[in-house]
Structure 1
Amino acid sequence: MVFLSVCPPAWGKQHFYTQRTAICYESADDLQEFDQKLRFMPPAHFLEIYFRQVEPAPTSSLGNLAAKIDGLLAAVCRLLRLRPQTFPRLHIILLKDGYQVQLRHRLFQPSPARPFLGYGHLLAFYESGHHTIFLSLADFHEGVLAHEMTHHLLCTAYQPPPPAQIQEAWASYVEAHLK
């Protein structure tokens, strides 16, 4: 399987699960950095419903991280006017920096004829075949994650998925209107 051969250093490490996502990370420090940089806070009514569904209700910061991630995904769904229940689990792989993200991207897009991305730094990208976001921790903010979540939702909600230009327009819209 291509996916396992592509990301052995990231995929085989530690995992953190929310109701709708699986986050793969190298160390607890990476997950803590991700939590600190994710400043999005879902509305109070979302948190009330979310924590009623989780047994037992989490008291640690990781419980809040799960709510922030799933809340962000719900906010993106709301902006796109999509129902979140119908989507497969989203995988998020946290990588050290944009160079590591670029290396993973080149494994999925090995053609040297893709100069528009360059060969150095890439904040994040979504790989639709495995429902996976590859994300640079060094460059992370919730706008980047919301942008890539938009690609995930559009690629899974519509068959065939919208063209890349349409997806980018929607992803930019979501990034600009995220609260």
Structure 2
Amino acid sequence: MPYIKKICAALILLSAVLLNVGLSWAFEDGFGSAKKIYGEHLSVYCAPESDIAGLDRRLNIRTSDKVLARKSAKMADSPEKELSDSLDTLFLRVSDIMDMHLYSLQVNIKLCRDDAQLNSIYNNLFKASLGGRRSFYVFSFNTIYISIEGFSKEIIGHEMAHAIICHYFAVPPPVKIQEVLAMYVEHNLRRAGQ
């Protein structure tokens, strides 16, 4: 009889683990067929028809910033490489602003075609409204979601700060503390862009 109880307990535990793993992989955000652009610290997922060169221009990363981040001063071979270099440069700049350096961190950025797609993903994940925001970071997926309308150095830097903070500490700090640091990064990036 005790043998049967142990087997039942083990089966229940195994079922719970398998159900939990299955649910974590069940979320489909619509980026399965997206174009993928890989950088040193970031992987960008976007619609195949996205204007990559236009996105890079919107970041407005200067050549001097790229040189300081040990990137090449000359133009990259493709718009995709140019965008990945700009985002890696921004990632290193955000790390410097917070003095939190995680050189091996790899973060996903999923670029939504519009605010409606971004809101839909947020609603599917959290069963809540995004409340007008144009980006958010999900620690469990290690992913930044952002709409094309919100694609700017300051907003992406803000979300990169959340990713760095969550991975820098053994236990991520409370969201309000993260938000203070992320707003500090955003403020510094805005001030540097003026």
TM-score class, shorter-chain normalisation, is 0.7 to 0.9
Aligned partners of 1:27 and 1:161: how far apart in 2?
A: 34
Alpha-carbon deviations, 1:67-93, whole Å to 9, x = none?
210000000000110113142x10000
User: 2:150 aligned to 139, 152, 155, which one?
Assistant: 139
Contact 1:15 1:24 in 2 (8 A): yes
Q: d(CA) in 2 for partners of 1:100 and 1:44? A: 32
Give the superposition deviation at 1:104. 0.8
Q: TM-score, normalised by structure 1?
A: 0.82
Task: Kindly indicate whether the alpha-carbon contact (under 8 Å) linking 2:31 and 2:110 is maintained by their aligned counterparts in 1.
Answer: yes
Q: Unaligned stretches of 5+ in structure 1?
A: none
1:68 to 46, 65, 86: 86
Distance 1:66 1:142 in 2: 13
Per chain length, whose mean CA-contact separation is higher, i.e. which structure has more relative contact order (CA < 8 Å, sep 6+)? 1
Once the two structures are superposed, the pairs formed by residues 58-137 of structure 1 within 5 Å of their partners are: 58-87=76-105, 89-110=106-127, 114=128, 117-118=130-131, 121-137=132-148
Number of aligned pairs?
166
* Higher-Rg member (1/2): 2
Q: 1:150 to 1:44 in 2, by over 3 A?
A: closer
Match of 2:68 among 46, 51, 58: 46
Provide structure 2 residue ranges, at least 5 long, that are not aligned to the other structure. Answer: 1-21
> What percent of counterpart residues are identical?
22
Alpha-carbon distance, 1:65 to partner? 1.5
Pair 1:148 & 2:170 matched:
no
Q: Once superposed, what is the RMSD of the aligned Cα atoms?
A: 2.2
Partner Cα distance (1:164, 1:85) in 2: 23
TM-score (norm 2): 0.76
Quick one: which amino acid aligns to residue 20 of structure 1? Answer: H
Indicate conservation of the 8 Å contact 2:52/2:83, yes or no: no
- The one-letter amino acid of 2:57's match is Q
* Structure 1 residue 167 corresponds to structure 2 residue 178: yes
